[in-house]
Chain A
Amino acid sequence: MERIDGTGARSVQKTPEEEATALESIQFTDEIHRLISAPSDNASSFTALLEMPPTQAVELLHSPESANLISNDTFKPPHMEDFKGRLHFPTNIALVERAARFSVFAGEGSNNTNIEKNSVETALNDSSANLKKAVKSEPAETESSQPLVSDPTVETKSAKRKEREKKAKGSAKKSKTAANESSDDAEKLPYVHVRARRGQATDSHSLAERARREKINARMKLLQELVPGCSKISGTALVLDEIINHVQSLQRQVEFLSMRLAAVNPRIDFSFDSILTAEGASLMDSNFPSIVTPLMWPEAQVSGNRQPYQQQWHFDTLQQQVWGREEVCHNYITPENSLLSYDSSANSATLHPNQLKMEL
């Protein structure tokens, strides 16, 4: 509504500037008032139409005895006379546009009018451009003898215009009903901006393809950041290899750690609850400053502790037999190395089982 006020203010400003047409401008304002008053009920009927389901409304719009005809009749003649009388056209167009805006807005709420305004404006621009052409094509000396000559043209033009306006309104309504549903989505979806460089194809398919590829590249970059030691590698294939390795190694580490937990469990029932509190708190600190703490199998450990681990390594082989899917590369990560080099666990995936044997 502020915008309308603004345009109104501008029109007020504009009209005094053109001193030659001051009188006419007064006439214009009168006409505007007429237009505002006349189509206002039309506008309300238009809004009433808008309340209907779209099919019905379109039918109504296309039926000859609808309210649009009346509106068009009240709409056209004034400014037809105007441009017949004097070929002072641009202000006329602007005023018509403004008047149309007013008339559209008169009966409506303020929230739903954006799209409609646009379409109506474009329609009016079209029609006014057409009118301008027509006026230009008309000979200049027919000014006095206008009525006889121009009546049929005006008739046909107005008919055309009616059609156009019907279309515009129909489309406006459709777009409005569609827009009410999809406006939220449209706001949420970011606009993917793709530019075609020189020599690139610009049809929609290749544009979409390019957008997709850019998205994929962004994802790859993100993954590259996530996977340690991967940011230096260039080339999508290598990066993807590294990612695959990383995922595999992480999954193996989970397997391995749960194996260790399973083996370790018997020993540690006693302090579980205290662990849950203490460890949970320390884990929430989350930074894991030094995982370098030399852990378990130090030589001081008792043989009773060692036994489950051996069994566990036995499991490794057992499990590989049983689970056929581990066929890839049986590099179970040795505890020391994996723990020390967790942060660059890309290379931890390259350890070999014989290292493990050396361990034991």
Chain B
Amino acid sequence: MKNPSSSSVKSRFTRRFLRALIKINRQKPSSSSSREIFLRYRRIRIAADKAMACVIGSRRAWSRAVLRRIKNQKRKRLADSLRRSNGIHGMKKMVAKEEDEISYEQENELRKLVPGVGAMDLCSMLDETAHYVMCLATQVQVMRKIVDFYST
């Protein structure tokens, strides 16, 4: 799973995210009221998610789910953004007893954490999770770098 194109994913994510940041900065003129910062924070986080999901495209279930979620959020903007629910709840598969070690609660927790794996079988869910973890790590790296750059 050492993705050969991970560095290109990284650079593409960086470019997208920086562009989104510029846009956010232009739209919301800088102010230091807490309300403003909170709003900006939310937009930046959505932008980060969206940039990553766009870079991955529709190849993966989780990126599809993220994009869908963002779209839906945009459509009905109201209280949804407050409770940015992770993943799709419900549709819980009954796990057979004999896969002894992976407990039902753990699996459900993972299902909640990784977007878009609500109705998947365990195997592809783990696959998705691996990819998602990798992308999240990249995201964190890039964002941290940007923060470093800006704050020093």
- Nearest-neighbour CB distance to chain B for A253, whole angstroms, equals 5
Q: Are B82 and A216 in contact (CB under 8 A)?
A: no
- Nearest-neighbour CB distance to chain A for B88, whole angstroms, equals 14
Residue of B nearest to A278 (CB): B149
Indicate which residue in A216, A247, A293 contacts B123 across the interface (CB closer than 8 Å). Answer: A216
Please tell me if A49 contacts chain B, counting CB pairs below 8 Å: no
CA distance A40 to B141 in the complex (A): 70
- Known pairs A261-B21, A266-B31, A315-B34; A226 contacts B110 (CB<8 A): no
**Which residues of A are found within 8 Å of B126, using beta-carbon distances?**
216, 219-220, 222-223
Q: Are A262 and B44 in contact (CB under 8 A)?
A: yes
Which residues, 252 to 290 on A, are CB-close (under 8 Å) to B? 253-255, 257-269, 272, 275-276, 279-280, 282-284, 286, 288
Please tell me if B133 contacts chain A, counting CB pairs below 8 Å: yes
- Nearest-neighbour CB distance to chain B for A189, whole angstroms, equals 15
Please tell me if A325 contacts chain B, counting CB pairs below 8 Å: yes
Residue of A nearest to B151 (CB): A296
- Known pairs A243-B129, A247-B110; A260 contacts B147 (CB<8 A): yes
**Which residues of A are found within 8 Å of B48, using beta-carbon distances?**
254, 257-258
Q: Are B30 and A262 in contact (CB under 8 A)?
A: no
Please tell me if A176 contacts chain B, counting CB pairs below 8 Å: no
Q: Are B11 and A283 in contact (CB under 8 A)?
A: yes
- Nearest-neighbour CB distance to chain A for B94, whole angstroms, equals 15
CA distance A291 to B148 in the complex (A): 9
Please tell me if B74 contacts chain A, counting CB pairs below 8 Å: no
CA distance A295 to B144 in the complex (A): 11
- Known pairs A243-B129, A265-B40; A296 contacts B152 (CB<8 A): yes
Q: Are B32 and A243 in contact (CB under 8 A)?
A: no
Residues 214-227 of chain A, each 1 if its beta carbon lies under 8 Å from chain B, else 0 = 01100110110111
Contacts A225-B1, A295-B152 known; 12 new A-B pairs at CB < 8 A: A213-B99, A237-B106, A248-B113, A250-B133, A254-B139, A255-B45, A269-B30, A272-B25, A280-B11, A284-B14, A295-B148, A324-B83
Which B residues are within 8 Å of any A CB, using their own CB? 1, 6-7, 10-11, 14-15, 18-19, 21-22, 24-25, 30-32, 34, 37-38, 40-41, 43-45, 47-49, 82-86, 98-99, 101-103, 106-107, 109-110, 113-114, 122-123, 126-127, 129-130, 132-134, 136-137, 139-152
The list of the 3 closest CB pairs from A to B, nearest first, reads A266-B30, A236-B101, A219-B126
